[in-house]
Amino acid sequence: MDWSEESKEYTGINGDRRHDRRYGINLDLRWKLIRRRRVLESGVGRTVDLSSGGILFDPGRQLPVGLNVELAISWPVLLRNVAPMQLIVSGRIVRVSQNLTAVAMTQHEFRTAGVPAGERGAHGSAVRTPSALLGNTGTTSLGKYR
């Protein structure tokens, strides 16, 4: 083994040791600092990157390391092209660097998010009908389709 190969081996040791692949994605989120099942503080921010094990985000200010946090991330894909979704993440703040906060995930799940009243428009009630969700076009009272 020559020196260049040996130096590559050592740089790998000091490099990024994360187990999960990180994906750079900027999404809006709402955060809550939690201690003993009580919300201490809340705010809004944006994700920087995420993986299956953690999230790096900008909360808009510095958050304390060691506290639990819950993130509600606005997901960019609609459920069945109709319902907005959120990725809800619970975890612990493990690192803070300037305004960026790293969270080690302990739990995550997708939930549907309500549509704000101002965005419902004329189709708001139709979106909630089973025929609209299934893509059927026709009258529901007679059961006929065009």
Asked whether the predicted pLDDT for residue 115 surpasses 70, the reply is: no
Among the listed residues 36, 114, 100, 119, the one whose alpha carbon sits nearest the alpha carbon of residue 72 = 114
Phi, then psi, of 25 in degrees rounded to 5: -150, 130
| Residue 121 binned pLDDT confidence (cut-offs 50, 70, 90) | low
Return the sign of the alpha-carbon dihedral for residues 88, 28, 69, 57: positive
Cα Rg of the chain (Å, integer): 22
What residues contact 111, with CB distance under 8 A and at least 6 apart? 85, 86, 88
pLDDT for the residue numbered 117: 59
Fold held by 12-114: Thrombin, subunit H (2.40.10)
pLDDT at 64: 93
pLDDT at 131 over 80: no
Query: What are the pLDDT digits (tens) for 10-60?
Result: 444 444 555 678 889 999 999 999 999 899 999 999 999 999 899 999 999
Which is higher by pLDDT, 86 or 142? 86
Q: Which residue has the tokens 């549907």?
A: 112
What is the reported pLDDT for 50?
93
Residue 20's pLDDT is 75
At 62-114, the pLDDT tens digits run 999 999 999 999 999 999 888 999 999 999 999 999 889 999 999 999 999 87
Nearest residue to 104 via CA among 15, 30, 19? 19
DSSP 8-state code for residue 93: E
